[in-house]
């Protein structure tokens, strides 16, 4: 069965009353090994976000994600849901110039950092990822599903170095 996420988007009618603007099921793509499915829920390329009706909502629905894992405008954000396949064969160590909220919705997953330390996460756990080099490694025998909210941030400076995006292709 394909990985699907239901996206409900609210809006306003002509009288300013809240309405459900859309209610749809989105099918996830598998962008690389180790990911069963990934769905881009919503994104924006500026803060504050334009919540007005019209062109902005359509563009945000399609997504502004242009640099692999985040918006890259310096003021953007993205919400996505990702299902990681069981097994740890495809570790993907990376860093983005974002502040990320990683919310584990189901299953178990290990957060591995580049110092070799690993933290086991269980459903309901939330990781605040602050521009660090990391990998999500599903060492369990079942899929796990995360909701990720990524917000553009300045690159971290540590040890006299600017720690910019590291996002290997392939």
Q: Strands 77-84 and 4-12, how do they pair? A: unpaired
Dihedral in degrees, nearest 10, Cα atoms 92, 93, 97, 101: 70
Q: Decide if 101 contacts 132 (C-beta within 8 A).
A: no
Residue 26: inside a domain: no
Q: Is residue 24 part of a domain?
A: no
Say if 158 falls within a structural domain: no
DSSP 8-class letter at 109: E
Q: How many angstroms separate the CA atoms of 30 and 58, rounded?
A: 24
The pLDDT tens digits of the residues spanning 7-46 come to 999 988 999 999 998 899 999 888 888 899 999 898 887 7
Q: Which domain holds residue 97?
A: 32-153
Assess if residue 163 is contained within a domain. Answer: no
The reply to whether 109 falls in a domain is: yes
Instruction: Please check whether residue 86 lies inside any domain of the structure.
Output: yes
Q: How many domains does the chain have?
A: 1
Q: Which of 89, 66, 86 is nearest to 76 (CA)?
A: 66
pTM of this structure: 0.89
Report pLDDT digits (tens) over 107-146. Answer: 999 999 999 999 999 999 999 999 999 999 999 999 999 9
Q: Is the dihedral of CA 71, 109, 8, 28 positive or negative?
A: positive
* Domain harbouring 57, CATH code: 2.60.120.10
């Amino acid at each position: 069965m394909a990985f699907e996420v239901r996206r409900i988007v609210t809006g306003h009618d002509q009288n300013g009353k809240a309405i459900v603007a859309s209610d749809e099921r989105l099918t996830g793509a598998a962008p690389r090994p180790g990911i069963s499915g990934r769905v881009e829920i919503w994104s924006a390329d500026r803060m504050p976000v334009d919540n007005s009706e019209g062109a902005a909502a359509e563009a945000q629905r399609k997504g502004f994600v242009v640099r692999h894992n985040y918006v890259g405008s310096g003021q953007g954000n993205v919400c996505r849901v990702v299902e990681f396949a069981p097994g740890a064969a495809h570790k993907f160590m990376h860093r983005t110039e974002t502040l990320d909220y990683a919310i584990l919705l189901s299953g178990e997953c290990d957060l591995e950092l580049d110092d070799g330390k690993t933290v086991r996460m269980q459903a309901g756990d939330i990781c605040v990822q602050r521009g660090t080099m990391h990998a999500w490694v599903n060492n369990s025998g079942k899929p796990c599903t995360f909701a990720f909210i990524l917000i553009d941030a300045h690159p971290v400076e540590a040890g006299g170095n600017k720690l910019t995006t590291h996002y290997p292709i392939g």
